[in-house]
A and B are shown apart, each in its own frame.
Chain A
Amino acid sequence: MNCTQAHDRLPGLLYGHLLPAEKAGLEKHLAECPACRQEYAALRQVRHLLDRGPSPEVRLDLRQLYGQACDRQLRQGRRWRRVGIALCGAAVVLAVIALGLRMEVRMEPRQLVLRWGTPSAQREPTQSPQILQVQAQRAELSSGAAEEQFQLLSQLIHALADTAEARDSQRRQELLQLRADLRELQRRTAQWRYATERDMDALYTAHFISAKKGEKP
């Protein structure tokens, strides 16, 4: 053990903090080192001086203590009362301001709307919440990656619209064709009916009018 290590362990030896092995090692060092022995003696003197310090008597006044406890609780109660009054006053002031300014407070998705005053004539017409929401979302999407996503969405919507239009056109074509077929059918039906009536007239004439004249049909 060297003097630095011994120096650190001297208070432990003085107050009995050391393990037996440490104590034996330190005592062996002290037997050989006059400087450390002197330091140890000085620390023993310090301990002795500390023990000789005065030790006054303290006596509490319980009546005074109870009085102070009451005062402190009263002060605490008054403090809370003041806080309560202040909060109520603030709430009343806010309510008066809100009523006086005809303030409107409304919670909407992602925003708190606070409006006051009467609407002026030159004010722009209010937009629906959905449009405002879309605009807000559009503003949020101003960053590069978000803009790209928006472009993709836009293309998708256009593609869907084109598909719907193509289908619509096809349906119209089919309807026109059906109409044309129906007209053709009506024309043929009219022709067939005309031919049938002519044939019937010819037969009638041949059968009945010829018999009256005494001619054989």
Chain B
Amino acid sequence: MGCDDADLIHRWQHGDAAAFEALVRRWQQPIGRFLFRLVGREEEASDLCQEVFLRVFLAGPRYRPRAAFSTWLYRIALNVARDAARRARRNPVALFDREVQDNTSSAEVVCQRQELTNIVARAVAELSEPLRSVLVLHHYEQMNFEEIARLTATPASTLKSRFAAALHRLRQRLQHLQEESEEAL
């Protein structure tokens, strides 16, 4: 995939607009999902994904393949998410606003799943940005710590510690939120 990316970029930098569109089609889903897990809102993730590829389009002529294209792309996505969080002064208890569509299960099961999804999303959103980033990149994007280290300019050992801390905090927070949810019922 890396070689194909390099080939597409080379063609795009030499005037082939279709090559840029192919890059967008290839990467819009992974980047969109990544941003969704960082910010927790589908609409905002879509806007941020648009912003990411807009920055890629404008910076394309200056891009030099010193690292993999995916590293560059994820770095832009992280920066876009951070800029958005700074602008919005994000509420750390923001919830997912997407309902789980399930026509096979009963309403009660659907509600329980929705509730659980919201609880997980809330717990993830409450993590600090460094912990949330490494959790999303390692768990969802399947990046190893060396790749994340190159992306974030942070030592791999630090990232391992942050990941462990994120998991433990999630576990404590989920337990607390589930207890709150049960008390509310």
A79 to chain B, nearest CB (A): 14
- CA A147 to CA B171, docked complex, whole Å: 75
Q: Which residues of A contact B163 (CB under 8 A)?
A: 11, 15
Please tell me the size bucket of the interface on A: 20 to 34
User: Does A106 sit within 8 A of B, measured CB to CB?
Assistant: no
Q: Which residues of B contact A14 (CB under 8 A)?
A: 167
Q: A50, B29: Cβ atoms under 8 Å?
A: no
Q: Which residues of B contact A39 (CB under 8 A)?
A: 171
B49 contacts which of A7, A8, A52, A60 (Cβ < 8 Å)? A60
Q: Nearest residue in B to A9 (C-beta to C-beta)?
A: B164
User: Does B126 sit within 8 A of A, measured CB to CB?
Assistant: no
- CA A69 to CA B59, docked complex, whole Å: 11
Q: Which of B3-11, B31-39, B83-91, B147-155 contacts A (4 or more CB under 8 A)?
A: B31-39
Q: A46-B174, A50-B139, A69-B58 are known contacts. Are A61 and B50 too (CB-CB below 8 A)?
A: yes
B176 to chain A, nearest CB (A): 12
Q: Of residues 143 to 180 in B, which have CB atoms within 8 Å of A's CB atoms?
A: 145, 160, 163-164, 167-168, 170-171, 174-175
User: Does A25 sit within 8 A of B, measured CB to CB?
Assistant: no
Q: A60, B53: Cβ atoms under 8 Å?
A: yes
A52 contacts which of B117, B124, B140 (Cβ < 8 Å)? B117
Q: A58, B33: Cβ atoms under 8 Å?
A: yes
A65 contacts which of B36, B50, B96, B175 (Cβ < 8 Å)? B50
Q: Which residues of A contact B139 (CB under 8 A)?
A: 47, 50
Q: Which residues of A contact B100 (CB under 8 A)?
A: 54
Count A/B pairs, Cβ under 8 Å: 92
- CA A11 to CA B170, docked complex, whole Å: 12
Q: B28, A59: Cβ atoms under 8 Å?
A: yes
- CA A15 to CA B53, docked complex, whole Å: 32
Which positions in B face A, CB cutoff 8 Å? 21, 24, 28-29, 31-33, 35-37, 42, 45-46, 49-50, 53-54, 57-58, 96, 98, 100, 113, 116-117, 120-121, 124, 138-140, 145, 160, 163-164, 167-168, 170-171, 174-175
Can you pick out 16 interface pairs between chain A and chain B where the beta carbons lie within 8 Å of each other? A11-B163, A11-B168, A43-B167, A43-B168, A46-B167, A46-B170, A52-B116, A53-B37, A56-B36, A56-B45, A58-B28, A58-B36, A58-B46, A66-B57, A68-B50, A73-B58
Which positions in A face B, CB cutoff 8 Å? 7-8, 10-12, 14-15, 17, 39, 42-43, 46-47, 49-50, 52-62, 64-66, 68-69, 72-73
